[in-house]
Structure 1
Amino acid sequence: MASVRDILELLTRETLASAVALGGFSVLLFIFFLGKSNSFFKSKHCKLPPVPEVGGRLPLIGNLLQLKEKKPYKTFTQWAEQYGPIYSIRTGASTVVVLNTADVAKEAMVTRYSSISSRKLSNALTVLTSNKCIVAMSDYNDFHRMTKKHILANLLGANAQKQHRCHKEAMMDNMSKQLKEHVKTSPNEAVNFRNIFAPELFGLALKLVLGEVVNSIYVEQLGKTLTKEEIYRILVLDLMEGAIEVDWRDFFPYLKWIPNKSYEEKIRGIDFRRKAVMRALIDKQKKRIASGKEVNCYIDYLLSSPETKELTEEQILMLLWEPIIETSDTTLVTSEWAIYELAKDKSRQERLSEELQNVCGPNNLTEDHLSKLPYLGAIFHETLRKHSPVPIVPLRYVHEDTQVGGYHIPAGSEIAINIYGCNMDKNKWEDPSEWKPERFLDESYDNADLYKTMAFGAGKRVCAGSLQATSIACVAVGRFVQEFEWELSEGEEDNVDTLGLTTHKRYPLNVKIKPRN
């Protein structure tokens, strides 16, 4: 990661070579943490996970240099092959226990959950989540239980999904029309899959949360009118980029008093614009509600239900923003990779087309058909396995001594659950680097199990949006293959680079399409 060089330069050139007092203070810190690290790892009373010495860990810096490529989930997976499914690393002042197989991951998320139920957020996420004011990043406490109940009841649960099905079907029809128009006007040109899918997903998110697709809005705090594309940039893309920004002070909290102005200005600017747009969107809907016009959407529920009276304005703002970004992003990642794999593999694409024809006949695929389409389900799960939208679960904090995988995990440690590593485990998956949907047709796999690949987590913190993500992605991929033949454009097969800490394709998928007879 680019900031590692900054860390080293700061510690060597500025911090240690600055004033004598600061230099003495740094030496004391060095001695303190080195001594603490040695006693921590060499204690005869605790059986701790082994510590990789890949390339030689440096005092104070620890393993940070080995993680500079910004794809730590791949590095963690490589280390697991040598050091086992559970090991410890040092990232500055912190000890991180890395879990790389489903067995130890489930033990941490289910069996030992009471000891590992807190979140450890980076400086960026602390700001961008308003200090854990969203369901996905909150600690497991009364706030989490209350807000998860609200979002399941009105937006993401089974009953809510049935009530909102018409909006999802309208989205599918819109995408189908756009693809058919592309074939009509530009039959020989590749289509940018993301340009079709992303705006429709964002529109669906706005419809579910606010009751309408907002094409433009005046934002008083920004002093201008924003288009739908600009709203998407501020509420989704900027936040995704900000969430993976690295502040070197995350690794050295005892140096947090040293300013990092460019970083702070960037993150606070992203947060300010996001909240300014959300306030404008909320104010517009408040006026609608005051006029007596009610809509079945999340904002109407949060603003009118007696059960939500205890929520503050900032909490409501964040709880409304959360499903907008989550609906708009993670489902896109899975669907885009699924179409990439199918467009690359003609035989599997045709197998899916035959299954769809046998089950749906001349009718368009709907959610009612999904239980009768095992191969479509296998494609979805295999895509989640190989291209996990969240390759590493956000760090969890161990607030009391516990055990995982037969090792002692002391309070104060952090837990990194490497979902990517779990799904690349050669002891569980045959040829894990290959995309083989047929593996999920084996009798040993239960197609009703949403959590077989760990992509949605497990236990009490299982993802609230798993049902919606599954239905949208499966119906979208099914409809696309039902109506069109897909082929990768030239050079697209090798276009597999991902963005930062995520598995989000760095460059949009470009594919050629042809209507099926």
Structure 2
Amino acid sequence: MFDYNFVAIDFSQLAAQIALIASVLLLTYWYRRPPNSPPGPRGIPLFGVYPFVGKYMERKLAKWKKVYGPVISVRLGIRDMVVLNDLNSINQALVKQHTGFSGRLQIQLIQEITKGGGIGSLDYGPFWKSQRKFGLITFRGFGVGKKSMESRVSEELACFNEAIRSENGKAFDISNFMHKAISNTICNVIFGKRFDYDDKNFELILHRLLKGFADQLTAFTFRLILMAPWLRRVPPISFMCLRISRDLSNVLKFLQSIIDEHEQTYDKENMRDFIDAYLKEIKNGEDKDFTNNQLLQYIRELFLAGTETTSSTLNWALLCLLHYPETQKKLRKEILCVIGSEGTASMSHQSSMPYTCAFIHELMRYRTLAPLSVFHKTNEDTELNGYFIPKNTLVAPNIWAVHNDPEYWEEPEKFKPERFINEKGEFVPSSHVIPFSVGPRHCLGEKLARMEVFLFLVSMVQKFEFLPDPEAKELPDIDDGVSSTGFIPHPYCLVAKEM
């Protein structure tokens, strides 16, 4: 008679052996590295180091520098990521070897929405180069970095200051006005117009556009689909991806309506703004890279980057003024000494305002807005610091690590503008402060952002004294923030007392 129990036991043992072999093979595959790759932790299968990096990934990655060195390799979800944890390795990769390190990871969710268009999200190659060159030339043509742009910013500042006055010394959240004012500056360049602060449609579009920066849940979703792209099909992540897609679609409809207006009033003899200049290239038909979709996606990225980054920098600046009132007094004293209480600030005043310049430089170091910059990707098999890095490897320049390197900075955790003032009272910038990154893919709008931060800060401190909300039990948190694509302050209220 056949012994069925014996067969069942055999099958049970066989299944256990297969599971054991599969586990060994999985672990072997997971912890296997390319030959001579950078050292670093691998984490656990499927998740990598993600469960261990916490809210502020850049800070944990910087700590691993002490164990593995400045160039490390970690597994983030199912992807290998090389992290550059010091200035030397960042310069080596992004400047000296930029052709091998200037790619961009293509995220499927974004690609479906943008249809391959944009500027910062484009992969490295001739298409990106032609679009980048056009952007730089066109920005210069419309005054970015020039005196004419200062006049536009000053006009917006008058509206911004009036909006602050309308609060009549009551505690309020200034970020709403800040977003609109900064956005109007870039809108002037791109669209040739500004929007009223009480324009509800403009306010709604800004809210939808900025969710990816200020909303922690949206930021978490982006991290998850970066770690494991297949999760975008799994609830509840799929629902979040649908919301992101819907919000961006509404933003694109708004931007398309502005392009349509420009089409109807286009005059090749009168270039009013960025859109007109781009339409001219499309109508010329000489370069097939210039398309309607590319224009739409290009201005979407400019609109987003030109709004959130600068407004958040200025919101961090105001938080510093609340936490360090003596610093606010020093700033005001210097500003009033140079331009008085009624004068208008100009970029030419920078040389006469060393403390103001030092404050801004320290602000950009102390509250690094893009801690891991924008992820790069290798375009080819390459080497860095003697390590082999395969093509299509994700690369993260850890700018936070550079800005907080204890080997370079004394007490990096403290806000000290004086660190950039020499014995003669002169402002001395540091090459270790790189908020806009370095290399050919550094921020396209750096000149405009630097101008806005200087002119807005000077005007605000000249016109108002910023005080804590008297109803709040403690000062707003300056150490914690929303960690997403950037590092954004949590909402807070303050009092603007007119001087």
Report if the CA contact (8 A) 2:319-2:478 is conserved. Answer: no
Q: Quote the offset at 1:33 in angstroms.
A: 5.3
Change (3 A) 1:27 1:178: farther
Which string of whole-angstrom CA distances, capped at 9 and with x for unpartnered residues, describes residues 333-372 of structure 1? 1111112112221222121112212221341222231232
8 A contact 2:360–2:454 mirrored in 1: yes
Which stretch shifts more, 28-37 or 57-66? 28-37
Matching residue within 82, 94, 108 for 1:109 = 94
Q: Give the distance between the partners of 2:229 and 2:108, measured in 1 at CA.
A: 10
Secondary structure of residue in 2 paired with 1:109 = helix
Contact 1:124 1:246 in 2 (8 A): no
> Does the 8 A contact of 2:82 with 2:395 survive in 1?
yes
Residue 66 of structure 1, aligned match among 35, 52, 55: 52
Aligned to 2:122: 138
1:142 partner letter: P
Deviation, 1:214, is 4.3
Query: CA 1:401–1:39 in 2, change beyond 3 Å: closer, same or farther?
Result: same
473-482 or 230-239, which moves further after superposition? Answer: 230-239
Contact 2:49–2:75 (CA under 8 A) maintained in structure 1: yes
When residues 197 and 214 of structure 1 are mapped into structure 2, their CA distance, relative to the original with a 3 A threshold, is closer
Aligned 8 A contact 2:369 2:435 in 1:
yes
Contact in 2 for aligned 1:123/1:250 (Cα 8 Å): no
Tell me which amino acid in the other structure corresponds to 1:198.
Answer: H
Q: What's the offset of the Cα at 1:137?
A: 2.0
Report the Cα distance in structure 2 between the residues aligned to 1:325 and 1:422, rounded to whole angstroms.
26
1:174-193 paired onto structure 2 within 5 Å: 174-182=159-167, 186-187=168-169, 189-193=170-174
**Structure 2 residue 247 is the aligned partner of structure 1 residue 266:** no
The answer to whether structure 1 residue 458 and structure 2 residue 438 are counterparts is yes
Q: Do the aligned partners of residues 438 and 303 (structure 1) sit closer, same or farther apart at CA in structure 2, a change above 3 Å counting?
A: same
Contact 1:401/1:411, CA 8 A, preserved across alignment? yes
Give the corresponding residue for 1:336.
Answer: 315
Give, in whole Å, the separation in 1 of the partners of 2:279 and 2:19: 51
SS in 2 for 1:246: helix
Q: Does the aligned pair in 1 maintain the 2:320–2:478 contact within 8 Å?
A: no
**Aligned pair 1:511/2:482, yes or no?**
no
| Residue identity in the other structure for 2:190 | V
Q: How many residues were matched structurally?
A: 472
* Aligned position for 1:196: 177
Kindly provide the CA deviation profile for residues 47-101 of structure 1, in whole angstroms up to 9, marking residues without a partner as x. Answer: x322237xxx32343212113x342112212333443322221123221111111
What percent identity do the matched residue pairs reach? 23
Change over 3 Å in CA distance of 1:503–1:116 after alignment to 2: closer
Q: CA deviation at 1:195?
A: 2.3
Shift of 1:495: 5.6
Q: Could you tell me how far 1:384 is from its partner in structure 2?
A: 0.8
Task: Judge conservation of contact 1:450–1:466 (CA < 8 Å) in 2.
Answer: no
2:215 pairs with 1:251: no
- Rounded to whole Å, the distance in 1 between the matches of 2:200 and 2:356 is 39
The match for 1:313 is 292
Mapped contact 1:135–1:148 kept (Cα < 8 A): yes
Gaps of 5+ in 1: 1-24, 217-224
Change in 2 beyond 3 A, CA 1:34/1:372: same
Task: Name the structure 2 match of 1:206.
Answer: 187
- Does residue 1:300 correspond to 2:300, yes or no? no
Q: Deviation per CA, 1:411-470: give whole Å up to 9, x if none.
A: 343211111111111001111111111112248999686964121111111211111000
Which amino acid in 2 is paired with 1:206?
C
Question: What secondary structure sits across from 1:394 in the alignment?
Answer: coil
C-alpha spacing 1:169/1:450, structure 2 compared with 1 (3 Å): farther
Cα distance change on mapping 1:34 and 1:194 into 2, 3 Å: same
Match of 1:280 in 2: 257
Q: 2:457 and 2:256 mapped to 1: Cα distance?
A: 34
Q: Bigger shift: 264-273 or 279-288?
A: 264-273
**Secondary structure at the residue paired with 2:83?**
strand
Residue deviations 1:465-484, cap 9 Å, x none? 11100010111111111122
Matched residue SS, 1:341: helix
Q: State the distance in 2 between where 1:448 and 1:148 align.
A: 31
1:506 & 1:151 partners in 2: Cα distance?
Answer: 30
Asked if 1:383 corresponds to 2:366, the answer is no
How much has 1:309 moved relative to structure 2? 6.2
2:452 alignment counterpart: 472
CA distance in 2, matches of 1:174, 1:371: 27
1:40 to 28, 33, 38: 33
Query: Could you say which residue in structure 2 is the equivalent of 1:15?
Result: none
> Distance between the aligned counterparts of 1:151 and 1:85, measured in 2?
34
Q: Distance in 2 between matches of 1:89 and 1:253?
A: 17
User: 1:395–1:414: 8 Å Cα contact kept in structure 2?
Assistant: yes
Unaligned stretches of 5+ in structure 2?
A: 1-17
Match for 1:155 among 121, 124, 139?
Answer: 139
Structure 1 counterpart SS, 2:250? helix
| Normalised TM-score (structure 1) | 0.81
Offset at 1:507? 2.7
Please report the TM-score for the alignment, with normalisation by the length of structure 2. Answer: 0.84
**Contact 1:208–1:298 (CA under 8 A) maintained in structure 2:** yes
CA RMSD of aligned residues (A): 3.4
Partner of 2:347: 367
Give 1:286's aligned amino acid.
E
- Determine which structure has more spread, i.e. the larger CA radius of gyration: 2
Deviation at 1:194, TM superposition (A): 0.8
For residues 197 and 266 of structure 1, the distance between their equivalents in structure 2, rounded to whole angstroms, comes to 25
Please state how far the C-alpha of 1:209 moved relative to its aligned partner. Answer: 1.1
Q: Equivalents in 2 of 1:486, 1:255: separation in Å?
A: 45
Matched, 1:289 2:255: no
Report the equivalent of 1:398: 378
1:126 to 73, 97, 111: 111
Write the deviation string for residues 388-416 of structure 1: whole angstroms up to 9, x where unpaired: 11111222222333232343323343211
